[in-house]
Amino acid sequence: MTAVSGAWHWLTTAAHWTGPDGVTHRLAEHLYFSGVALGLAVLLALPVAVALGHAGRGGTLAFALAAAGRAVPTFAVLTLLLVQLGSGSDWPVIIALVLFAVPPMLANTWVGMREVDRDVVEAARGMGMTGGQLLLRIELPLAMPLIWTGVRSAAVQVVATATLAAMAGFGGLGRIITAGFSRQVTAEVLAGAVLVAALALLVEGACAGVQRLVDPGGRPRARSAGDGPRDRARTTPGDRSSAPGPEEVPQR
Amino acid sequence: MAEYPELLEFPRFWQSRPLRQPGRSCLTENSWICGKYLRVYRQELTGSLVQHLWITATAVAIGLVVALPLALLARRVRSLAGPVLAVTTVLYTIPSLAMFSLLLPFWGISAALVVTGLVLYSLTILVRNTLAGLRAVPAEAVESAKALGYGPGRLLCTVELPLALPAVMAGLRLATVSTVALTTVGAIIGYGGLGNLLLDGINRDFKAQVLAATVLCVLLALAADAALAVVQWLLTPWVRRGRVAVRVRRRRGPRNPASGSGKRQAAPS
Q: What CATH class has B53-251? A: mainly alpha
Query: Are B184 and A82 a contacting pair at CB < 8 A?
Result: no
For residue range A194-243, list pLDDT tens digits in order. 999 999 899 988 888 887 887 665 544 444 443 334 443 333 333 333 33
Nearest-by-CA chain B residue for A87:
B8
Cα distances (angstroms) measured from residue A248 to each of A111, A223, B176, B254, B265? 14, 10, 23, 11, 11
DSSP code string of B6-26: -STTS--HHHHS----TT--H
Q: Which of B16, B31, B32, B93 to probe by mutation at the A interface, max A CB count within 10 Å? A: B93
Give the rounded percent of residues in chain A with a pLDDT score beyond 70: 85
Query: Are A76 and B202 a contacting pair at CB < 8 A?
Result: no
Which has the higher per-residue pLDDT, B13 or A110? A110
Chain A hits for B265, CB-CB cut-off 8 Å, are 240-241
Label residue B8 exposed, middle or buried (CB < 10 Å: 0-12, 13-18, 19+): exposed
Answer whether residue B180 shows pLDDT above 90. Answer: yes
- For chain B, how big is the Rg over CA atoms in Å? 23
What is the residue-averaged pLDDT of chain B?
81
Q: B172 — contact with chain A (CB < 8 Å)?
A: no
Answer whether residue A85 shows pLDDT above 50. Answer: yes
Nearest to A8, CA basis, from A178, A160, A195 = A195
CA-to-CA distance for B92 and A197, rounded, in angstroms? Answer: 10
Chain A hits for B206, CB-CB cut-off 8 Å, are 83
CA-to-CA distance for A65 and A99, rounded, in angstroms? Answer: 10
Q: How large is the average pLDDT for residues B186-198?
A: 91
DSSP code string of B181-224: HHHGGGGGGT--THHHHHHHHHHHT-HHHHHHHHHHHHHHHHHH
Residues contacting B29, CB < 8 A, separation 6+: B18, B19, B20
Contact between A222 and A246 (Cβ < 8 Å): yes
Query: Are B214 and A76 a contacting pair at CB < 8 A?
Result: yes
Question: What is the ipTM score, two decimals?
Answer: 0.76
For residue range B123-138, list pLDDT tens digits in order. 989 999 999 999 889 9
CA-to-CA distance for A234 and A225, rounded, in angstroms? Answer: 6
Query: Are A164 and B185 a contacting pair at CB < 8 A?
Result: yes
- Could you tell me the pLDDT band of residue B51, with boundaries at 50, 70 and 90? very high
Nearest-by-CA chain B residue for A118:
B257
CA-to-CA distance for B111 and B101, rounded, in angstroms? Answer: 13
The residue type of B90 is: V
Nearest to B220, CA basis, from B179, B186, B162 = B179
Q: What pLDDT was estimated at residue B22?
A: 52
Contact between A163 and A27 (Cβ < 8 Å): no
Between positions 3 and 62 of B, the ones with CB within 8 A of A are: 3-8, 10, 12, 15
The whole-angstrom distance between residue B191's C-alpha and the CA centroid of its chain comes to 16
Q: Which domains does chain A have, with CATH numbers?
A: 2-10+24-248 (1.10.3720.10)
- Could you tell me the pLDDT band of residue B267, with boundaries at 50, 70 and 90? very low
Q: Mind telling me how many Å the CA of B151 is from chain A's nearest CA?
A: 30
Q: B173 — contact with chain A (CB < 8 Å)?
A: yes
Q: Mind telling me how many Å the CA of A238 is from chain B's nearest CA?
A: 6
Q: What pLDDT was estimated at residue A221?
A: 45
Give residue limits of the domains in chain B.
53-251
Helix or strand (DSSP H, E) at A230: none
Residues contacting B257, CB < 8 A, separation 6+: A114, A118
Answer whether residue A32 shows pLDDT above 90. Answer: yes
CA-to-CA distance for B186 and B191, rounded, in angstroms? Answer: 5
CA-to-CA distance for B163 and B133, rounded, in angstroms? Answer: 8
CA-to-CA distance for A80 and A83, rounded, in angstroms? Answer: 5
For residue range A132-152, list pLDDT tens digits in order. 888 888 888 888 888 888 888
- Torsion angle of alpha carbons A97, A174, A8, A156, nearest 10°? 10
